[in-house]
């Protein structure tokens, strides 16, 4: 079930909200947990059992991982239990997400020597990358003593399976939400009033902008390599840069708004990333919950920036290599992650990670950062590395060939206007960020924007959804 499907918008979401408002306050977590499992089962089917197995293992391990002031559970015993549970979580992710990729590489290698090796083909469970990271955060935070284990299975089920963030984030670290799981909610209608504008904003981003750009981007990236031109390459790269942002930030806005309506506050996930003046800053603004997760559970345990420059650069590169691989089992994602890791190392080693001071330097560095990010998105979207390098080559070599007939047919006047309008995010200031402003600000501009989004924007987006023009969120595939 998608947030932009009629089933969700007309039936599921209203039913959950009505139940949370009408039924006793103490039922909230149970309503959310059961509703979330139903939500997941409609899209994942039998894979819901895999999610439940992971939940049972991590829930049972939680109390045994808590620090024991009486030393009845020795540190070594807790450490080995943590290693075992994390290994279990990662093994589920590795098997279901990467077994096919691994066997493809083995098959390719054995063919060099005339051998044959079977390729494993497994369907990817929806949201497996996200609920795996939630489970790891849960057990690690307990082991570190940052929060106690949840004894109530309903509260645990609410944290792991909460439908606003289950399929595509934000990635909520356990210590960020643990204090919200006790059911102390009192101002239920106020929460709905605060969360709905944020949900409507995300719906507009997704249905009005991202989905409208999708056919044009698909046409560009479907162009045969021999027919690729300078214009098609740049149109596809810029179009995908905008499509991905409005699709994923739209999902995050919808998730944050939905959670707020249910009485939860999820962490922010985007903060105008295309306004960054360095790649380092870009990663402080793009998919922030993922960056924070890797910082807390990978970068710092590796040593962080302790131990000298060489180890810091190594840790940065490892983190971004893993970030790329987390997104998908393909060499394009690995290269994309390595590419950003190299950029961050270069910025840190040259001092370019610091923000420039003069207006001219800010404009120049902002333009350079945007171009570097756009180049990276080509790897992210391309079907394979060969196609990515072909496209990048055409982006660097101007020609006057123009567009193919297929791309011209996809570039309608409406999509061209939306593309140009969406490009405004390239020029906006870094602050204020629209989502939080819309949710909490009481200024006149924020009130006008809030009313506009909830009426004209939400109504138009709903019409598009009703006509069947919506598409799955891009991050569902991760």
List, by residue number, the catalytic residues: 327
Say if residues 132 and 89 touch (Cβ distance below 8 Å).
Answer: yes
Closest-CA residue to 60 (of 146, 167, 144, 138): 138
Closest-CA residue to 197 (of 186, 209, 205): 205
Query: Residue written as tokens 């200031």?
Result: 429
Say if residues 185 and 25 touch (Cβ distance below 8 Å).
Answer: yes
Number of neighbouring beta carbons within 10 Å of residue 300: 13
Closest-CA residue to 283 (of 195, 361, 372): 372
Both structure tokens of 7:
């089933």
Say if residues 251 and 3 touch (Cβ distance below 8 Å).
Answer: yes
What is the DSSP code (8-state) at residue 304? T
In whole angstroms, what is the distance from residue 121 CA to residue 435 CA?
Answer: 40
- Where in 256-403 does DSSP place strands (E)? none
In whole angstroms, what is the distance from residue 123 CA to residue 1 CA?
Answer: 17
Both structure tokens of 357:
């001071």
In whole angstroms, what is the distance from residue 401 CA to residue 324 CA?
Answer: 34
In whole angstroms, what is the distance from residue 470 CA to residue 201 CA?
Answer: 16
Contacts of 116 (CB under 8 A, 6+ apart): 107, 110
Number of neighbouring beta carbons within 10 Å of residue 425: 18
End-to-end CA distance of the chain: 16
Closest-CA residue to 203 (of 428, 441, 467, 453): 453
In whole angstroms, what is the distance from residue 196 CA to residue 188 CA?
Answer: 12
Closest-CA residue to 196 (of 8, 18, 438): 438
Instruction: Identify whether 432 is preceded by a cis peptide bond (ω within 30 of 0).
Output: yes
Find the angle CA(181)-CA(184)-CA(189) to the nearest 5 degrees. 105
Contacts of 86 (CB under 8 A, 6+ apart): 136, 139, 140
What is the DSSP code (8-state) at residue 27? G
């Amino acid at each position: 079930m998608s947030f932009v499907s009629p089933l969700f918008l007309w039936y599921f979401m209203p039913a959950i909200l009505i139940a949370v408002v009408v039924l006793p306050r103490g039922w909230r977590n149970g309503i959310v947990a059961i509703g979330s499992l139903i939500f997941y089962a409609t899209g994942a089917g039998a894979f819901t059992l895999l999610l439940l197995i992971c939940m049972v293992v991590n829930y049972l391990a939680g109390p045994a991982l808590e620090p024991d002031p009486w030393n009845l559970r020795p540190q070594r015993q807790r450490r080995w239990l943590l290693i075992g549970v994390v290994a279990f979580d990662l093994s589920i992710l590795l098997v279901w997400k990467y077994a096919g990729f691994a066997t493809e590489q083995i098959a390719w290698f054995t063919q060099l020597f005339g051998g044959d090796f079977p390729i494993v083909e497994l369907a990817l469970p929806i949201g497996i990358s996200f609920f795996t990271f939630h489970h790891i955060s849960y057990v690690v935070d307990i082991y570190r003593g940052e929060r106690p284990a949840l004894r109530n299975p309903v509260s645990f089920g609410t944290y792991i399976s909460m439908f606003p963030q289950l399929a595509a984030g934000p990635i909520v670290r356990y210590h960020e939400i643990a204090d919200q799981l006790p059911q102390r909610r009192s101002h239920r209608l106020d929460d709905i009033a605060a969360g709905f504008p944020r949900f409507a904003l995300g719906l507009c981003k997704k249905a009005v902008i991202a989905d409208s750009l999708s056919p044009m981007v698909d046409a560009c990236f479907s162009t045969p390599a021999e027919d690729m031109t300078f214009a098609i390459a740049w149109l596809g790269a810029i179009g995908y840069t905008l499509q991905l942002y409005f699709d994923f930030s739209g999902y995050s806005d919808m998730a944050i708004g939905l959670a707020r309506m249910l009485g939860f506050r999820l962490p922010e996930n985007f903060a105008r990333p295309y306004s960054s003046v360095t790649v380092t800053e870009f990663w402080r603004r793009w998919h922030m919950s993922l960056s924070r997760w890797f910082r807390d559970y990978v970068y710092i345990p590796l040593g962080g920036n302790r131990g000298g420059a060489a180890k810091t650069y190594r840790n940065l590169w490892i983190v971004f290599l893993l970030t790329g691989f987390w997104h998908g089992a393909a060499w394009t994602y690995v290269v994309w992650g390595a590419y950003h890791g190299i950029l961050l190392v270069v910025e840190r080693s040259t001092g370019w990670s610091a923000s420039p001071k003069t207006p001219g330097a800010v404009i120049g560095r902002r333009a350079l950062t945007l171009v570097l990010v756009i180049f990276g998105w080509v790897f992210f979207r391309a079907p394979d590395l060969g196609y990515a390098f072909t496209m990048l080559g055409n982006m660097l070599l101007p020609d006057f060939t123009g567009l193919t007939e297929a791309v011209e047919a996809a570039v309608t006047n409406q999509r061209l206007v939306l593309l140009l309008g969406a490009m405004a995010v390239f020029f906006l200031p870094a602050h204020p960020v629209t989502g939080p402003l819309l949710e909490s600000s009481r200024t006149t501009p924020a009130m006008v924007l809030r009313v506009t989004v909830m009426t004209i924007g939400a109504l138009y987006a709903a019409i598009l959804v009703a006509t069947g023009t919506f598409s799955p969120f891009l991050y569902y595939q991760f």
